[in-house]
Structure 1
Amino acid sequence: MDLFSLSWSALRAAVDGLPDGDFERQSGCAGWLVRDLVCHLVIDAQDVLITLATPAATEPTRNAVTYWEVVEPPTGADPLDALTVRLAAAYQDPGLLRFHLDDVGSAAGRPAALADPDARVGTRGQVLTVRDYLGAYVLEWTLHHLDLVAAVPDAAGPPPEALARSRAMLEQIAGFPLPAALSDTSALLVTTGRRPPTPEEQPHLAHLTPHLPLPLG
């Protein structure tokens, strides 16, 4: 619960500090500019608000780890991805997009901080406890924070606690440990296919090559 707030606040602060020109840079998320990524975060914040307002009475069907699925790498053909790009372009003024994320993002953060961790909520046809639902989003916020930093290296990166937790979650999703020689940041980027391994990293990953990358959805 605390890591959700920590990682979400850090990501929003990083976006808030971006100069307007940085919104036109290519983000670390394939096919998306920074403005597209920020627009996606607005949609994510809306999803958090909707889910926290969607109580469920049945037993949980997923947890923070099983919430995630390994999917086919994005091709840009997904209708929601295309909508995100068009919507982001419609903002025109980066200040409006920055303001919208702050507005909706703050609104999502408040009920998350106040919610009963053991309450059950429904999303994407599944039921999770609030604790697990918000826990799943720690990985979401951390990966997208790395996508942002890939485009704007001067921006502050994700909190170390969020990186460590996200790495642990990714290892559980993958079903195998990631090489200790890789930092948390490198492990997350390489494992999810956000960048190829460096020559120095390749020997540590050779035995995992058939299993990588692990695009998540």
Structure 2
Amino acid sequence: MDLFTRSWTALRAAVADVPDGHFERPSGCTGWLVRDLVCHLVIDAQDVLITLVTPAETGPTVDAVTYWKLVDPPTGDDPLDALIPRLAAAYGEPGLLRHHLDDVGSAAGRAAELADPALRVSTQGEVLTVGDYLSAYVLEWTLHHLDLIAHLPSAAEPPVATLAATRALLEKIAGTPFPAVFSDEDALLIGTGRRPPSAVEVAELGDLAPKLPFVLG
């Protein structure tokens, strides 16, 4: 839960520091501008709030690892993905979008800090503990932090601890480790298809290279 707080706080701070003019720049999410990514984070924050007040009476069906599924790369046909750019554009001023994320995001952060880690909650047809749910979201926040700063070289990077935790979680989801010579950031970017590996990195990946990218859903 500490890593959830650290990753979410760092991501929101990074968004707060993005100049208004940079909201129109591309993000690391293919087809999304920075403003689209920030709008997606607002929806993510809402999902956290909803899940934390949706208790479940049955036993867990997934944990922080199995919460994530390896899926086919997106085709652009998902209705929610198509909605995001239109919704983001409707905000008009970046300040309004930034304010909404700060408002809802702060509430999600407080709710996470107050939640009982052992409580079982329901989301997307699955049941898991709050602790596992928040641990799973460390991956979401960290990857999107990397997406946010993909074309903003002066922006603050994710915390070292959350990068390491996200790499470890991705390796468990994929069922295989990345080469030890890869930095945590490179392992995440290459492993999830956010950047292609160089020829040297392909050689380091060996039999793992043809299996990439690992797309999470």
TM-score (norm: length of structure 1): 0.98
Give the deviation of 1:72 after TM superposition.
Answer: 1.3
Deviations along 1:33-85, one digit per CA (max 9) or x if unpaired, are: 00000000000000000000100010000000100011111122110001111
Contact 1:5/1:109 (8 A) holds in 2: yes
- Residue in 2 that maps onto 1:95: 95
Moved more, 207-216 or 91-100: 207-216
CA distance in 1, matches of 2:154, 2:69: 32
Give the deviation of 1:94 after TM superposition.
Answer: 0.4
Deviations along 1:143-175, one digit per CA (max 9) or x if unpaired, are: 000001102111001000000000000000010
Moved more, 150-159 or 2-11: 150-159
- Residue in 1 that maps onto 2:161: 161
1:160 counterpart letter in structure 2: V
- Residue in 2 that maps onto 1:13: 13
Matched ranges for 1:106-121 at <5 A: 106-121=106-121
Deviations along 1:153-205, one digit per CA (max 9) or x if unpaired, are: 11001000000000000000010111001100000000000000123312101
Contact 1:28/1:194 (8 A) holds in 2: yes
> Is 2:46 the partner of 1:46?
yes
1:128 counterpart SS class: strand
> Is 2:187 the partner of 1:192?
no
2:27 counterpart letter in structure 1: S
Q: Which runs of 4+ in 1 moved over 6 A?
A: none
Identity, in percent, stands at 71
CA distance in 1, matches of 2:113, 2:54: 16
CA distance in 1, matches of 2:142, 2:154: 17
1:113 counterpart letter in structure 2: E
CA distance in 2, matches of 1:172, 1:58: 25
- Residue in 2 that maps onto 1:133: 133
Q: Could you tell me which runs of 5 or more consecutive residues in structure 1 were left unpaired when the two chains were aligned.
A: none
Moved more, 198-207 or 136-145: 198-207
The CA RMSD measured in Å over matched residues stands at 0.7
- Residue in 2 that maps onto 1:204: 204
CA distance in 1, matches of 2:94, 2:14: 14
TM-score (norm: length of structure 2): 0.98
CA distance in 1, matches of 2:70, 2:90: 31
- Residue in 1 that maps onto 2:70: 70
CA distance in 1, matches of 2:81, 2:141: 17
CA distance in 2, matches of 1:105, 1:153: 24
Number of equivalenced pairs: 217
CA distance in 1, matches of 2:29, 2:148: 8
Give the deviation of 1:206 after TM superposition.
Answer: 2.6
2:32 counterpart letter in structure 1: W
> Is 2:86 the partner of 1:86?
yes
CA distance in 2, matches of 1:212, 1:145: 21
